[in-house]
Amino acid sequence: MIKTAVMGYGTIGSGVAEILEENRDVIAGQAGQEVELKYVLDLREFPDSPVADKIIHDFKILEEDPEIQIVVETMGGLNPAYPFVKACLMAGKHVVTSNKALVAAHGTELLAIARKKKVNFLFEASVGGGIPIIRPLYRCLMGERIEEITGILNGTTNYILTKMDKEGETFENALKEAQNLGYAERNPEADVEGHDTCRKIAILTAMATGKEVNYEDIYTEGITGITDIDFKYAEKMGASVKLFGTSRMKDGKVNAYVAPVMIGNSHPLCSVNDVFNGIMVRGNMLGVSMFYGSGAGKLPTASAVIADIIEAAQNLKKNVPMGWSSERQTVEPMEKTRFRYFVRFAGSFRNKEQEVKSIFGKAEVIELYGMDEFAILTAEMEEGAFKAAAAAYNEKAEAQSDYGIKQTIRAMM
Amino acid sequence: MIKTAVMGYGTIGSGVAEILEENRDVIAGQAGQEVELKYVLDLREFPDSPVADKIIHDFKILEEDPEIQIVVETMGGLNPAYPFVKACLMAGKHVVTSNKALVAAHGTELLAIARKKKVNFLFEASVGGGIPIIRPLYRCLMGERIEEITGILNGTTNYILTKMDKEGETFENALKEAQNLGYAERNPEADVEGHDTCRKIAILTAMATGKEVNYEDIYTEGITGITDIDFKYAEKMGASVKLFGTSRMKDGKVNAYVAPVMIGNSHPLCSVNDVFNGIMVRGNMLGVSMFYGSGAGKLPTASAVIADIIEAAQNLKKNVPMGWSSERQTVEPMEKTRFRYFVRFAGSFRNKEQEVKSIFGKAEVIELYGMDEFAILTAEMEEGAFKAAAAAYNEKAEAQSDYGIKQTIRAMM
């Protein structure tokens, strides 16, 4: 029998305890022996919970208990998750975590300690909730040169964008609704500003390149600037707007970013709606493959933790090669990334046609009935070139006391 | 260095040889050592191919070469694939195959031999082409009780149905187009009658239950009866028709079938179009997860073979627990499976309302403008109950020299 401990009895931690009980037979079958929960470390008491008699408050108890072979970290945040996880690994215990902030900030060090101590540091649940994506990268797509990973990696923002798309809601109303349903935090910044997605795409990029990726190197833009008007244009174009975390890898170079992107309805990620997540992986031989499912939620995320517990149990005496080294992967500046651009202008196209064409070059024009504005969809160009064009347009407009560009959204269609 | 041999230098076999060369470094990194192709067994010569000097015609050469540790079978069919694969396993060689017919017919025996000989018999490429689905079932969704697997598992039929849906084509024309593009065989029976899908869902069901599933126990219906008129109704209902291979598992019972099913546009598999495959897996904790990608094609399928080669290389001295036992899983009779039913009738609903309602119970009615026919969508019921109702209707119609039911399609919406 393998004894395990859960640190942090919140949503995911309690889900892990629940599945360990509910699927006890399946887990024992796969792990090769029974997996028992011995401790739950939390500051609080849970007198009415099924784990009431397992609650401990002192980390030292589990750290120093040689019976505990696998520790689950579901506290979130960096403190005390980071020192606790590090101490567990140093003590020769396997650690499974759902904590993307921890993996993004200290993954390199923790992976190295795990290797040295011949244990495993596993984090399937840190990206894509219940969707298997970390393990497919090191277990399934093994012979592939991964060329691109693009994901809808945040359920909160995807819910908001879906509401705006399907029901014509404003960002503010859709956010309020997400908050009322418990999909968004009272302080939604980490989600809507793209920080959550940024950490996740950093982890996936590091998995794909085998090198450390500093999430701070990844250009990150959220969805707070997306409006209901943008979706009206999108509808007319047979398109939608999704928050992408993307990484393109070629010849050792990486272009990575987090940003709302306008995509056509036939894009495989376009039908990923509501709180669901979808992750597209492109390999040099495989072409495009996509993984879809519940990107958050108690039981789906806990299910991914359980799969990691089983992998650790199957490899109690050895470190499974996965993750990345301490070599740093440079990320190309955003200016070098290529997109098409959806751009909205005040006024009528007829009046501004010449100016817009001379500055942005060949572009599709989209007009909405009864609106004193229009939009274009440029040809593909480097972000740097687009920015220069946009600045030139705005400068000229200002000189003429005219309105500048109203909106810009990157597009892939 | 690991030496390998490919049996059958057709589309997939040549793809395997190509990737072994093209991604040599990635494969060596994952496998822990270089993987070299030593022989290609084929009846033909390939003097202008990159493997010209590796071609052998005599199976004994590779069977008796102790250097060959991993054999790839990409011949297809049962003879000589079955005796060759069996002999390789008996000789203590790992075998990787893309051959669903072989796995469906002899998987139980071959898995047992592999276990006994402490080698691996792997077949990721036999289902879903390049989409990882076999390995996720034993590596990723490990702690889950799998409750359902539903897949669009055949690219040819999905291409035909997509053409009928999006372009209003008849079955015959869509099939011709698929044949012209090389997506369908001259004799398309294995695809369009559902036999290919049947073998694949049998394999997935055996993976999920851990027991042998006889594919002949699975009710199988193809798409030859689906017409362009059906898609006109589907469009009106916001639905489409897809060929599903489905298996539902509960309390040791399995309901499995292959049939065209009418599904709503919001179903996660509805956006799986053209030659793509999609496989939905529902776990008791995870909820729904979906895997999407190229279900066929030279390089995607070969990529799945390569991943198996790497798994074998990582486990040269041990059998990785996976697959199923020789215990037989019974499959419930189709009569016990529950669906809604889309049914088309001649004449006008007004004239037949009473009769239809009295026989089929409460149902939605769908009428197309200008057509002397109508359709209903019944409530959910067991197939046995529906069949009895349909027989009663047809009997009554015949007695009145009236038309019987024009079309029936199972529906999940």
**ipTM of the shown complex:** 0.92
Give the per-residue pLDDT at A266: 83
Cross-chain Cβ contact B293/A290 below 8 Å: yes
Quick one: angle between helices B11-22 and B298-314, nearest 10?
60
**CATH architecture entry for A2-129+299-314:** 3-Layer(aba) Sandwich (3.40)
Q: Report the alpha-carbon distance of residue B188 to residue B176 in Å, rounded.
A: 10
Q: Report the alpha-carbon distance of residue B200 to residue B215 in Å, rounded.
A: 9
Pick from A292, A294, A306: CB nearest B143: A306
Distances (CA, A) of A292 to A153, A265, A335, B88, B286: 10, 17, 30, 37, 12
* Chain A (185-204) residues lying within 8 Å, Cβ to Cβ, of chain B: none
Best A18, A19, A139 member to test B by mutation, with max B CBs in 10 Å, is A139
Can you give the C-alpha Rg of chain A in angstroms? 24
Beta bridge partners of B36: B3
- Residue B212 DSSP symbol: B
Work out the burial of residue A359: count CB atoms within 10 Å of its CB; fewer than 13 is exposed, 13-18 middle, 19 or more buried: middle
For the stretch B90-141, pLDDT in tens is 999 999 999 999 999 999 999 999 999 999 999 999 999 999 999 999 999 9
What distance in Å separates residue A287's CA from the closest CA in chain B?
7
What distance in Å separates residue A352's CA from the closest CA in chain B?
37
Q: Report the alpha-carbon distance of residue B352 to residue B354 in Å, rounded.
A: 6
Q: What backbone phi and psi angles, to 5 degrees, belong to B198?
A: -60, -45
* Chain A (5-24) residues lying within 8 Å, Cβ to Cβ, of chain B: 15, 19, 22-23
Q: Which of B100, B200, B211, B298 is catalytic?
A: B200
What distance in Å separates residue B367's CA from the closest CA in chain A?
26
Cross-chain Cβ contact B289/A130 below 8 Å: yes
Could you tell me which chain B residue has the CA closest to the CA of A133?
B140
Cross-chain Cβ contact B140/A307 below 8 Å: yes
Residue B1 at interface with chain A, using a CB cutoff of 8 Å: no
Extract the tokens encoding A368: 């909405």
Could you tell me which chain B residue has the CA closest to the CA of A281?
B293
Best B12, B25, B124, B142 member to test A by mutation, with max A CBs in 10 Å, is B142
For residue B191, the surrounding DSSP H or E stretch is helix B189-192
Chain B residues closer than 8 Å to A270 by CB: 271
- Evaluate whether A125 touches A254 at the Cβ level (below 8 Å): no
Query: DSSP labels for A284-338?
Result: TTTEEEEEEEE-S-HHHHHHHHHHHHHHHHHTTTSPPP-S--SSBPP---GGG-E
Chain A residues closer than 8 Å to B131 by CB: 289
Chain A residues closer than 8 Å to B293 by CB: 286-290
Q: What is the mean pLDDT of residues B372-376?
A: 97
- Evaluate whether A312 touches A196 at the Cβ level (below 8 Å): no
Cross-chain Cβ contact B27/A142 below 8 Å: yes
Distances (CA, A) of B28 to A254, A284, B22, B314: 22, 16, 12, 11
Cross-chain Cβ contact A135/B140 below 8 Å: yes
Give the per-residue pLDDT at B268: 84
Mean of pLDDT over chain B: 96
Residue corresponding to tokens 């709606």: A273
Pick from B26, B145, B293: CB nearest A145: B26
Give the per-residue pLDDT at A345: 97
Cross-chain Cβ contact B130/A286 below 8 Å: yes
Q: Which of A54, A100, A200, A242 is catalytic?
A: A200
- Evaluate whether B239 touches B413 at the Cβ level (below 8 Å): yes
- Evaluate whether B281 touches B274 at the Cβ level (below 8 Å): no
Residue B299 at interface with chain A, using a CB cutoff of 8 Å: yes
Q: Report the alpha-carbon distance of residue B298 to residue A285 in Å, rounded.
A: 9
* Chain A (305-324) residues lying within 8 Å, Cβ to Cβ, of chain B: 306-307, 309-311
Extract the tokens encoding A147: 């060329």
Cross-chain Cβ contact A143/B306 below 8 Å: yes
What distance in Å separates residue B250's CA from the closest CA in chain A?
14
Three-state secondary structure readout of A166-221 = HHCCCHHHHHHHHHHCCCCCCCCHHHHCCHHHHHHHHHHHHHHHCCECCHHHCEEC
Q: What are the helix and strand counts (H, E) for chain A?
A: 14, 17
Residue positions counted in chain B: 413
Q: State the distance between the two ends of chain B, measured CA to CA, in whole angstroms.
A: 53
Q: Report the alpha-carbon distance of residue B230 to residue B242 in Å, rounded.
A: 12
Q: Report the alpha-carbon distance of residue B345 to residue B397 in Å, rounded.
A: 11
What distance in Å separates residue B17's CA from the closest CA in chain A?
12
Residue positions counted in chain A: 413
Pick from A23, A30, A289: CB nearest B285: A23
Single-letter amino acid code for the residue at A292: Y
Specify the pairing of strand A381-382 against strand A338-346: antiparallel
Could you tell me which chain A residue has the CA closest to the CA of B131?
A289
Cross-chain Cβ contact B131/A289 below 8 Å: yes
Annotated catalytic residue B200: yes
Residue A37 at interface with chain B, using a CB cutoff of 8 Å: no
Cross-chain Cβ contact B287/A136 below 8 Å: no
Residue B285 at interface with chain A, using a CB cutoff of 8 Å: yes
B266 pLDDT band, cuts 50/70/90, is confident
Cross-chain Cβ contact A286/B136 below 8 Å: no
Q: Report the alpha-carbon distance of residue A353 to residue A356 in Å, rounded.
A: 5
Cross-chain Cβ contact B285/A271 below 8 Å: no
Candidate CATH numbers 3.30.360.10, 3.30.365.10, 3.90.870.40, 3.40.190.10; the one for domain A142-293: 3.30.360.10
Q: Which of B285, B305, B280, B108 is nearest to B207 (CA)?
A: B108
Cross-chain Cβ contact B130/A27 below 8 Å: no
Best B303, B314, B320 member to test A by mutation, with max A CBs in 10 Å, is B303
Chain A residues closer than 8 Å to B4 by CB: none
**CATH architecture entry for B142-294:** 2-Layer Sandwich (3.30)
Q: Which long-range contacts (CB under 8 A, 24 or more apart) does B269-272 make?
A: B269/B150, B269/B151, B269/B152, B269/B242, B269/B244, B270/A271, B270/B239, B270/B240, B270/B242, B271/A268, B271/A270, B271/A271, B272/B152, B272/B158, B272/B242
Give the per-residue pLDDT at A156: 96
Q: Looking at the predicted structure, is the pLDDT value of residue B29 above 90?
A: yes
Residue corresponding to tokens 């190197």: A217
% chain B with pLDDT above 70: 100
Q: Would you give the distance in Å from CA A399 to the centre of its chain?
A: 42
What distance in Å separates residue B287's CA from the closest CA in chain A?
7
Residue corresponding to tokens 């003590």: A91
B66 pLDDT band, cuts 50/70/90, is very high
Residue A288 at interface with chain B, using a CB cutoff of 8 Å: yes
The domain defined by B335-412 folds into: Alpha-Beta Plaits (3.30.70)
Chain B residues closer than 8 Å to A284 by CB: 22-23
Cα within 13 Å of Cα(B369), Cβ side: 2
Backbone region of residue A129 per phi and psi (left: phi > 0; alpha: psi in -120 to 50; beta: other values) = left
Give the per-residue pLDDT at B296: 86
Candidate CATH numbers 1.10.579.10, 3.30.70.120, 3.50.30.40, 3.90.25.10; the one for domain A334-412: 3.30.70.120
Beta bridge partners of A412: A263
Give the list of residues 6+ apart from residue A276 with CB closer than 8 angstroms, or none. Answer: A152, A155, A158, A292, A293, A294, A295
Cross-chain Cβ contact A291/B288 below 8 Å: no
Q: What backbone phi and psi angles, to 5 degrees, belong to A405?
A: -65, 135
How is chain B split into domains, by residue range? 2-129+299-314, 142-294, 335-412
- pLDDT lower than 50: segments of chain A: none
Pick from A124, A142, A284: CB nearest B307: A142
Work out the burial of residue A317: count CB atoms within 10 Å of its CB; fewer than 13 is exposed, 13-18 middle, 19 or more buried: exposed
For residue B15, the surrounding DSSP H or E stretch is helix B11-22
What distance in Å separates residue B252's CA from the closest CA in chain A?
13
* Chain B (121-140) residues lying within 8 Å, Cβ to Cβ, of chain A: 124, 130-132, 135-136, 139-140
Q: What backbone phi and psi angles, to 5 degrees, belong to B371?
A: -115, 135
